[in-house]
Amino acid sequence: MSQRSLRLFSITLIFLGWTLYLWGIQRELPYEPFIDEPIFVERAIHMAATGDPNPHWFGNPGSTTIYPLAAIYRFWFAATEAGAWLSPDPRLSTAFAADSSIYYLVGRLLTIAYGLLTGALTFALGKRAAGARVGLLAALFLIFYPTLAWHTTVVRTDTSAMFFVALALWFCWKAADEPRLAHFVLAGGAMGLALSSRYLMVSIYFVYLVFFLLQLPQWRRNGRFSRAIWGFCIGGLVSALIFALSSPFFFFDFETAWQNLLAEARSSHVGADGKNYLERLFWYLTSAIPASIYNGQSFALLLGVAWSFWQRQWRALALAGFVLVYVAIISIPALHWQRWTIQISPVLALLAAFGVERMVTILTRWIDARLNVAVTLFLGIALVAQPAYTTGKVVVKLRSTSTRIEARHWIEANVPPQSRIIGELYTAPLQNTPFVFVSQPVLPERPLDFYLSGEFDFVMTSSEISNRFAADPERYAAQLELYAQLSELPLLQEFVPDAWQGGPSIRIFRLPKGEE
């Protein structure tokens, strides 16, 4: 492939990524941020406004999201509102309280930037490992992962962890090819920042160690053994130092950090619990990962791993080992989440691209080898078609007026002001409306009598919550019974999404008056 064609494809992929991710950036703003976003945005705002460098939360720990956001917000406010550039400005908190939407949008731009930079690193890794075509295929696969597209426009640590994992892989590869001290130091720095993004990224040290061990025999032969040993040890020390420098209050405020870790290690969360370790491990390998990259790429990935084993391509096998180690680690917490596969998305894309390259090699042995590029293009399009279609639906849904916002507008137009409304998570966001609104995580937390007491006029249910109970009817029979009892109340309105509209099914019921 010529350099001009390579440049054209690369620019096209970058433009495609920006278009996809920016298209859905608005989501449900200005009405409500996504459920986890305030964890990071509000802490960054507090740090920028007060100058307090302690985030007072260490659940991820999320340092590579919180600290950059604090700096961005400080400079953003200084540039747009004549705020202080280098000193705390309490007016920032006031501005955020008055209109927080722009700050959430700016935060989402940061997570999108991490995602796009990861795409560039994925291309670079694929090119270095197996050529430009593998790099382009891997980057193309990555862009069209629906789970990634959904979470890239959320201020959370998914894409920052993914980026620093890819960056660490890049410098590990460079250190293995040429054991310079700078390469080990940069690899260590990237690993430390990956750990500061999410604790579970400790698995990246597996690649660092295996790459080092794989190269030891060669370094012995060419006289680089001592240099490599020193570089490896210094790189490990640097990673610990970078973690400490980027998350210092993890140590200075360890009591809070420990409490946050205990909270993150909770064993119950509707829809994400109920499995033992082996069940979680099996679920990630046979359900979560295939659902993230789809069956065609899953087959290509397995073929790539099998071929690498057959041909003794040890670095590719180290990447496969990294996936297994990561899955083994994320299976330790009692809860399981499909979004936890996002952090290894670049590796999954690379292994799938390796598999496509092997398929092309096999096929072109039986047909004209000059069709190599055409076969690669055909297979690439075939394997990206389904996830690309789903990703397209995802971004269109994110761009659409969701059922939640539609429900809000309907309530504003049809429900008397000052009405007392209670709803669970993922129902209509009714903040800053003339209603007395109580948001409750899940309705089955309360007995039916609580809702029939006359304290509220209307109740809202969301399929995003009720479906989690419905997925395990034997375990949640009592909770499903409550939904069944609520469904017997007068139904005022129901909002049901379709193939191109986002949001859950939301139902609004009228509650009887207390004297009835």
Across the chain, mean pLDDT equals: 90
Phi, psi of 510 (to 5 degrees): -90, 135
Residue 163, pLDDT score: 96
Distance CA 516, CA 510 (A): 13
Judge contact between 21 and 149, C-beta under 8 A: yes
Which of 18-27, 120-129, 207-216 is the least confident region? 18-27
Cβ atoms of residues 313 and 358 within 8 Å: no
| Tokens representing residue 26 in the block | 């608005």
Pair 187, 232: CB distance under 8 Å: no
pLDDT at 10 exceeding the cut of 80: no
Domain boundaries, the chain: 3-67+105-398, 403-510
- Position with higher pLDDT, 242 vs 83: 242
What is the predicted pLDDT for the residue at 370? 60
Share of the chain above pLDDT 90, in %: 63
Q: How many whole angstroms separate alpha carbon 424 and alpha carbon 483? A: 12
pLDDT average, residue stretch 150-170: 94
Retrieve residue 256's tokens: 């809070």
C-alpha to C-alpha distance for 412 and 433, rounded to whole angstroms:
8
Residue 493 has pLDDT above 70, yes or no: yes
Q: Which of 8-12, 82-86, 318-322, 403-407 has the weakest average pLDDT? A: 8-12
Q: How many alpha carbons fall within 13 Å on the CB side of residue 303?
A: 17
Q: pLDDT band at 259, cuts 50/70/90?
A: very high
Residue 266 pLDDT: 81
The DSSP code for 511 is P
Average pLDDT over residues 343-363: 89
pLDDT at 516: 43
Identify the DSSP state of 203: G
pLDDT top residue among 2 and 388:
388
Q: Angle 63-81/91-98 helices, nearest 10 degrees?
A: 90
Distance of CA 277 to the CA centre of its chain: 22
* CB count in 10 Å sphere of residue 252: 11
Sort residue 88 into left (φ over 0), alpha (ψ -120 to 50) or beta: beta
pLDDT exceeds cutoff 70 at 315:
yes
379 vs 340 pLDDT, higher one = 340
